Amino acid sequence: MLENPRSPRVRAVAKLAKKPARIESGLFLLEGPQAVAEALTFRPQLVVELYATPTALERYTDIAQTAVDAGVDVEFVTEEVLDAMADTVTPQGFVAVCHQFPTAVKDVFAAGPRLIAILEEVRDPGNAGTIVRAADAAGADAVVFTGRTVDLYNPKVVRSSTGSIFHLPVAVGGHLEDVLERARAAGLTVLAADVKGDDLLSARTEGVLERPTAWLFGNEAHGLPDEQLALADRVVTVPIYGHAESMNLATAASVCLYESAFAQRSVGHE
C-alpha cells in the first residue's frame, strides 16, 4: 500500500492537475468511480496507473472485476494519499492516470458525421465537460475543441463529462475557420447558437435541424463575435419564455443538440 502523501510518485500524479505537466507527459488525471469505470470499460488501454482505497474497492466490486478483466493492476493507497493525488476534495476512493487520446480534426469529418458540437473559446471547464456529456447523450458523432477553448484534459472538464470523453471522438486544437471549412466540405450545415439569432423553433419548423449539422457554441460571457457569426450558415437562439435573465451555455447547448437529435431521428437518421 502506498502510504506517504509526500512521496515523489504521489506528487507526480498530483502535478497532472496543471496543464504544463499534462503537456509534458501526455497524461491526464481521472477521478471518481464513474469516470474510472467508463475508462476501464471503453478505453482500458489508456489506463496507465489505477489507485484505490481498500474501502472503495470493496464497495465497487464491479470496478475491481472490470480492472481484472482489462488486465489493469490496482494499487492500494490510503485516504491521505488519494486526497494528495486528487484535484477534488472528495475523489470517492479512485484516482487513475491515463494517456491523452485526442482525435484529429480531419478524422472527425472524414467519418461522415451527421451531428457534431464545435466549442470556440469556451473557457469554463464545467461547461465544456457538460457539453461533451450532452453531445454523447444526444448521440452526436463528435465534439471539436478549438485552440481557444479550455484544455480537454483539465480535471474539471474530465469530471464534468462523467466519462463521456471515452465514448465519442473529441478533437482539439483546430482553428475555427479551418474547422468550419472542413464541416461544410463534409456536407454539414453550420448553426451558430447566439442570442442574436432566429428562434430555434423556426429552424425546427423549416426542417433545418433535419440536415447534418455542426453546432457552434461560443464564449460564456460574450458569445460569438460578428465576424464568427458571419461564418455560420444560420444563427439560432434558444428562446426564453420565462423570466430568467439568461441561460447557461451548457444548458442551451444541450437543448440545441437534442433538438437536432429529435429532428434527425424523426426522418429516419440515427
Residue 249 has pLDDT above 90, yes or no: yes
CA angle 26, 181, 145 (to 5 degrees): 30
Residue 270 has pLDDT above 70, yes or no: no
Q: Which helix (H) or strand (E) covers residue 11, if one does? A: helix 8-14
- Give the global pTM: 0.95
Q: What is the pLDDT of residues 29-66, one digit of tens each?
A: 999 999 999 999 999 999 999 999 999 999 999 999 99
Q: What is the pLDDT of residues 101-131, one digit of tens each?
A: 999 999 999 999 999 999 999 999 999 999 9
Share of the chain above pLDDT 70, in %: 99
Q: What is the pLDDT of residues 150-209, one digit of tens each?
A: 999 999 999 999 999 999 999 999 999 999 999 999 999 999 999 989 999 999 889 999
Cα distances (angstroms) measured from residue 259 to each of 122, 166, 242, 247: 21, 24, 19, 16
Domains and their CATH numbers in the chain: 8-99 (3.30.1330.30), 105-267 (3.40.1280.10)
* CA of residue 248 relative to chain centroid, distance: 16
